[in-house]
C-alpha cells in the first residue's frame, strides 16, 4: 500500500465526525488527468450537439428519440466507461465514472435515462451477476444495444422497499420462476429491453431477477404525467404469470436486499454528481442572463441582491463538488487497495462504497438540495422570464425537484446518516465514546483564552474541529438521555443529520481550498478562499440552530444550560464580512460570464 493509501484508509467511513483529514491526501477536481478532461470534453460535446438541441422534443416524448440518443452515447463509449473491458466496456476508475455522470448531469431528462441505464440498470448485473449473466448482458448494455431499468418500488412500497409484494414461485418443472405483481415509477420502462426486478420468492424471500422484455407475462402501464423530467420514460411494470428462467435469478435467493442497498450507495453518490452537473449549467445561465438583462439602465448583475444570489449559487456548487470528489477518491483508493489484496472486482467497489455509505447519503442530500437552491435562485434571477416555458429556468426548476425524492428520499437519507454512524460506533468501527467524554470534560473546564493561531487555514480548521465537538456533545447527550427511544425522535435525528452534513461539506471545502492553495499559490486562489470562508462561516449558524433545536427537545435544567453554553462556544466564529466576500465571488463569475471554479 502506498503512503497516501495508508493515510486515507485511516479515515474510515463516518469517522470524519471525530477525525481530522489531511488536505494532501484528498483529491480535488483541479487534479483531473488529461484523460479525465478528454472524457469530460467528449461528454460535453455530445450534450451540446445531440441533447441540448432537442430538449423540447425529448420532453414531448418524441417516439424513439431517447433510445436513439442512448444509442449514440453508446457508440461514443459513454455507456461502458465503468464496465470492465472483458465485457465490452472501458473499465475506467470510479472518479472517471463520477466525472462523466456529473458532466452529463446537465442533460435534463436524458441524464436521468442515462443514469438509470448505466447505474441502477447495469450495476446490479455487473456486481451480482454470475459469469454467464455478465457475458450475456453486459456487452449489450455497455454498447447501448440494449437498455436497462430497475424495478424496486411498488404502489404500496417506496421507502419501505423490502415490503414489496411482487411474488415469485418456482414452476412445477423447476425451470422458471413465475412472477406476479406490479412495479411503480420505473425509469426507462418504455423502451428497456431488460429489467432488474425484485420479488419475494414464496412470498418472503426478497430476491433479484433479470427479466427480459420479451418474457411472456410482462406488460407496461401508460407513461406517467410528471412535474418534471418529462422526457424520461416512467411507467408501471406488470407481471402476470411472467415466466423468468431460473438461470436469471440475480445473486442468491433471499439476498436481494444486498443488491438493492449496495447499489444505492453508489447511486447516491452518482445522483449528487448528476445534480452538480445540472447546478453548474444553471449557474452559467444565471450569470450570463444577469450580465445581459438590463433594468434601471443597468445590467441586473450590478445589483447587490443579484450578486448575492450568483455568489451563493457558486458557493453551494463549489462546496458540494469538494465533498463529491473527496468521497469518490476515498472510494476509489479503497477499491484499489482491495483489488491489490486479491478481492474480486465485483466485490471491491461495492465494499468500498459500503464503507463510505454515510458519506454517500450525505452527498445525496447535499447535491439534491444544492441543485434545488441553485435552480430556485436561477428562476428568481430570470424574473418573469424564469417563469416562462420558453426560457431555460422553467425546465431546470421542474427537473431538479425529483432528486430529493428518488434514490432514497432526503428524509430517509438523513435518518440513515445518523443511524449508520451510531451502528458503526456500536460495532466498534468508530470510537465515539472517547471523544464524546473528552468534550463533556472540556465543557466543565475553563475555556481556552490563548491567542488564536492566525496562519492560513488555522482558524477555519479550528472552527470545523469545534463544529465536530458541537455535534458530539449534542448527539452524545441525546443518545445517553433517550437511549433506544432516540430512533422515534426523528426531529432530533434530522437536527443531528443536518449538523453532520454541514460538518462534512465544511471540512471538504476547507481541504479542497487548502490543497488548491498548495498547488497554485494563495495569490491565485483568493476567490476560492472567499467561498470557503463564507461557507464555513455560515455553517456555524446552521449547526448552532440545529443543535439548539435538538438540545431544547431532550434536555432540561442544568444539562440544558450546559449543553447550550457548549454549543455556543463550539459554534462561535469571529466577525467576517460575508457581503464583501460574496461581491468578490460574484465579480469573478460576472467577469467570466459563466460558472468558472
Ligand atoms: C420520476 C420517478 C422515477 C423513479 N424511478 C424509479 C426506478 O427507476 N425504479 C424504482 O424502483 N423506483 C423509482 N422511483 C421510485 C422512488 O424511488 C420512490 O418514489 C421513493 O423511494 C419514495 O417512495 P414513495 O414514493 O413510495 O414515497 P413514500 O415512501 O410513501 O414516502 C412519502 C413521504 O414519507 C416520508 N417517509 C417515508 N418513510 C419514512 C420514515 N420511515 N421516516 C420518515 N419519513 C418517511 C418520505 O421521506 C416522503 O417524504 C421513481 C420515482 C419517481 C417519482
Cβ–ligand 1 contact at 152 (below 6 Å): yes
Cβ–ligand 1 contact at 159 (below 6 Å): yes
Interatomic CA distance for residues 24 and 514, integer angstroms: 9
Please tell me the residue having the least CA distance from ligand 1 atom 16: 406
Please tell me the residue having the least CA distance from ligand 1 atom 23: 158
% of residues, the chain, pLDDT over 90: 92
Q: Does residue 486 surpass a pLDDT of 80? A: yes
**What's the pLDDT at 10?**
63
Q: Does residue 220 surpass a pLDDT of 80? A: yes
Residue from 153, 155, 162, 412 to probe ligand 1 pocket by mutation (most atoms less than 8 Å from CB): 153
User: What is the SS3 assignment for 194?
Assistant: strand
Q: Does residue 447 surpass a pLDDT of 90? A: no
Tell me the CA–centroid distance for residue 65 and ligand 1, in Å.
Answer: 28
pLDDT in tens, 250-285: 999 999 999 998 999 999 999 999 999 999 999 999
Cβ–ligand 1 contact at 224 (below 6 Å): no
Interatomic CA distance for residues 45 and 37, integer angstroms: 12
Exposed, middle or buried, 139 (CB in 10 Å: 0-12/13-18/19+)? middle
Cβ–ligand 1 contact at 161 (below 6 Å): no
Strand partners, 238: 182, 219
- C-beta separation of 467 from 16 below 8 A: no
User: What is the SS3 assignment for 286?
Assistant: helix
Give the CB-side neighbour count of residue 293, counting CA atoms within 13 A: 17
- C-beta separation of 102 from 111 below 8 A: no
pLDDT in tens, 122-149: 999 999 999 999 999 999 999 999 999 9
Cβ–ligand 1 contact at 185 (below 6 Å): yes
Cβ–ligand 1 contact at 111 (below 6 Å): no
- Name which of 30-39, 382-391, 449-458, 470-479 the model is least confident about: 449-458
Residue from 185, 226, 233 to probe ligand 1 pocket by mutation (most atoms less than 8 Å from CB): 185
The closest-lying atom of ligand 1 relative to the alpha carbon of residue 120 is 8
Closest listed residue to residue 42, CA positions, set 96, 5, 2 = 96
Tell me the CA–centroid distance for residue 132 and ligand 1, in Å.
Answer: 33
Cβ–ligand 1 contact at 402 (below 6 Å): yes
**What's the pLDDT at 126?**
96
Interatomic CA distance for residues 188 and 224, integer angstroms: 12
Please tell me the residue having the least CA distance from ligand 1 atom 4: 185
The closest-lying atom of ligand 1 relative to the alpha carbon of residue 232 is 1
Q: Does residue 92 surpass a pLDDT of 50? A: yes
pLDDT in tens, 147-167: 999 999 999 999 999 999 999
Question: Would you name the residues annotated as active-site residues?
Answer: 407
Interatomic CA distance for residues 391 and 393, integer angstroms: 6
Tell me the CA–centroid distance for residue 264 and ligand 1, in Å.
Answer: 13
Average pLDDT of 375-381?
Answer: 98
**What's the pLDDT at 448?**
77
Cβ–ligand 1 contact at 112 (below 6 Å): no
The closest-lying atom of ligand 1 relative to the alpha carbon of residue 157 is 26
- Please give the span between the terminal C-alpha atoms of the chain, in angstroms, as a whole number: 33
Closest listed residue to residue 318, CA positions, set 487, 505, 77 = 505
Go through the domains of the chain in sequence order and give each one's CATH number: 34-147 (1.10.540.10), 150-254 (2.40.110.10), 257-408 (1.20.140.10), 413-592 (1.20.140.10)
Cell triple for residue 166?
Answer: 411482487
Task: Tell me which long-range contacts 69-76 makes (C-beta under 8 A, separation of at least 24).
Answer: 69/110, 69/113, 70/113, 70/114, 70/117, 70/144, 70/147, 71/144, 71/145, 72/46, 73/46, 73/114, 73/144, 74/142, 74/143, 74/144, 74/145, 75/143, 75/144, 76/42, 76/46
Interatomic CA distance for residues 262 and 349, integer angstroms: 10
Tell me the CA–centroid distance for residue 247 and ligand 1, in Å.
Answer: 30
% of residues, the chain, pLDDT over 70: 98
Cβ–ligand 1 contact at 412 (below 6 Å): yes
Tell me the CA–centroid distance for residue 404 and ligand 1, in Å.
Answer: 9
**What's the pLDDT at 9?**
52
Interatomic CA distance for residues 262 and 123, integer angstroms: 10
Tell me the CA–centroid distance for residue 318 and ligand 1, in Å.
Answer: 28
- C-beta separation of 491 from 553 below 8 A: yes
Tell me the CA–centroid distance for residue 267 and ligand 1, in Å.
Answer: 15
Please tell me the residue having the least CA distance from ligand 1 atom 48: 409
Site of grid cell 448583475: 301
Q: How many other β-carbons are positioned within 10 Å of the β-carbon of residue 364? A: 31
250: DSSP letter? E
Cβ–ligand 1 contact at 403 (below 6 Å): no
The phi, psi pair for 294, rounded to 5°, reads: -110, 140
Cβ–ligand 1 contact at 419 (below 6 Å): no
- C-beta separation of 375 from 397 below 8 A: yes
List C-alpha distances in Å: 24 to 27, 112, 248: 8, 34, 46
Tell me the CA–centroid distance for residue 407 and ligand 1, in Å.
Answer: 8
The closest-lying atom of ligand 1 relative to the alpha carbon of residue 159 is 29
Closest listed residue to residue 193, CA positions, set 153, 233, 251 = 233
Average pLDDT of 387-408?
Answer: 97
What letters, b where the CB count within 10 A reaches 16 and e where it falls short, cover 423-447? ebbeeeebebeebbeebbebbeeee
228: DSSP letter? S
**What's the pLDDT at 1?**
45
Cell triple for residue 214?
Answer: 420479451
Cell triple for residue 34?
Answer: 488529461
Amino acid at each position: 500500500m502506498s503512503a497516501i493509501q495508508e493515510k486515507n484508509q485511516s479515515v474510515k467511513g463516518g469517522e470524519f465526525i471525530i477525525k481530522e483529514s489531511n488536505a494532501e491526501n484528498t483529491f480535488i477536481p483541479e487534479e483531473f488527468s488529461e484523460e479525465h478532461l478528454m472524457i469530460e470534453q467528449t461528454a460535453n460535446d455530445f450534450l451540446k450537439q445531440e441533447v441540448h438541441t432537442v430538449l423540447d422534443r425529448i420532453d414531448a416524448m418524441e417516439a424513439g428519440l431517447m433510445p436513439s440518443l442512448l444509442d449514440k452515447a453508446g457508440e461514443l463509449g459513454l455507456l461502458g466507461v465503468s464496465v470492465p473491458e472483458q465485457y465490452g466496456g472501458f473499465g475506467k476508475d470510479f472518479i472517471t465514472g463520477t466525472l462523466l455522470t456529473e458532466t452529463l448531469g446537465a442533460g435534463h431528462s436524458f441524464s436521468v435515462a442515462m443514469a438509470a441505464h448505466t447505474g441502477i440498470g447495469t450495476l446490479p448485473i455487473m456486481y451480482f451477476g454470475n459469469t454467464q449473466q455478465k457475458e450475456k448482458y453486459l456487452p449489450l448494455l455497455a454498447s447501448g444495444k440494449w437498455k436497462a431499468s430497475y424495478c424496486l418500488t411498488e404502489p404500496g412500497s417506496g421507502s419501505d422497499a423490502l415490503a414489496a409484494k411482487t411474488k415469485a414461485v418456482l414452476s412445477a418443472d423447476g425451470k422458471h420462476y413465475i412472477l406476479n405483481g406490479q412495479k411503480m415509477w420505473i425509469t426507462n420502462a418504455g423502451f428497456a429491453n431488460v429489467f432488474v426486478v425484485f420479488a419475494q420468492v414464496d412470498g418472503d424471500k426478497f430476491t433479484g431477477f433479470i427479466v427480459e422484455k420479451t418474457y411472456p407475462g410482462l406488460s407496461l402501464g401508460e407513461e406517467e404525467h410528471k412535474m418534471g423530467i418529462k422526457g424520461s420514460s416512467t411507467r408501471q411494470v406488470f407481471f402476470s404469470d411472467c415466466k423468468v428462467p431460473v438461470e436469471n435469478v440475480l445473486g442468491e435467493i433471499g439476498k436481494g436486499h444486498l443488491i438493492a442497498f449496495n447499489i444505492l450507495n453508489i447511486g447516491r453518490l452518482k445522483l449528487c454528481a448528476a445534480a452538480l452537473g445540472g447546478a453548474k449549467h444553471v449557474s452559467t445561465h444565471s450569470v450570463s442572463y444577469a450580465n445581459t438583462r438590463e433594468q434601471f439602465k443597468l445590467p441586473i448583475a450590478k445589483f447587490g441582491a443579484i450578486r448575492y444570489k450568483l455568489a451563493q449559487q457558486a458557493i453551494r456548487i463549489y462546496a458540494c463538488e469538494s465533498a463529491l470528489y473527496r468521497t469518490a477518491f476515498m472510494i476509489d483508493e479503497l477499491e484499489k487497495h482491495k483489488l491489490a489484496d486479491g478481492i474480486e472486482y465485483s466485490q471491491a467497489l461495492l465494499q468500498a462504497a459500503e464503507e463510505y455509505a454515510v458519506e454517500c447519503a450525505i452527498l445525496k442530500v447535499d447535491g439534491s438540495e444544492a441543485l434545488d437552491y441553485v435552480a430556485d435562485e436561477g428562476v428568481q434571477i430570470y424574473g418573469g422570464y424564469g417563469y416562462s416555458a420558453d426560457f431555460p429556468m422553467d425546465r431546470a426548476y421542474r427537473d431538479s425537484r425529483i432528486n430529493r425524492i428518488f434514490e432514497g428520499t432526503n428524509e430517509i437519507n438523513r435518518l440513515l446518516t445518523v443511524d449508520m454512524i451510531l451502528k458503526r460506533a456500536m460495532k466498534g468501527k468508530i470510537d465515539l465514546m472517547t471523544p464524546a467524554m473528552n468534550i463533556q470534560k472540556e465543557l466543565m473546564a475553563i475555556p481556552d483564552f490563548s491567542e488564536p493561531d492566525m496562519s492560513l487555514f488555522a482558524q477555519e480548521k479550528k472552527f470545523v474541529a469545534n463544529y465536530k465537538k458541537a455535534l458530539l456533545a449534542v448527539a452524545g447527550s441525546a443518545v445517553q438521555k433517550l437511549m433506544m427511544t432516540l430512533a422515534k425522535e426523528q426531529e432530533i435525528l434530522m437536527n443531528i443529520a443536518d449538523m453532520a452534513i454541514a460538518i462534512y461539506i465544511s471540512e471538504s471545502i476547507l481541504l479542497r481550498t487548502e490543497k488548491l492553495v498548495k498547488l497554485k499559490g494563495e495569490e491565485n486562489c483568493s476567490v476560492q478562499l472567499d467561498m470557503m470562508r463564507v461557507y464555513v462561516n455560515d455553517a456555524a449558524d446552521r449547526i448552532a440552530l440545529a443543535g439548539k433545536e435538538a438540545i431544547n427537545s431532550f434536555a432540561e435544567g442544568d444539562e440544558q444550560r450546559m449543553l447550550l453554553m457548549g454549543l455556543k462556544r463550539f459554534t462561535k466564529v469571529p466577525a467576517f464580512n460575508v457581503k464583501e466576500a460574496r461581491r468578490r465571488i460574484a465579480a469573478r463569475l460576472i467577469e467570466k460570464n459563466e460558472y468558472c471554479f
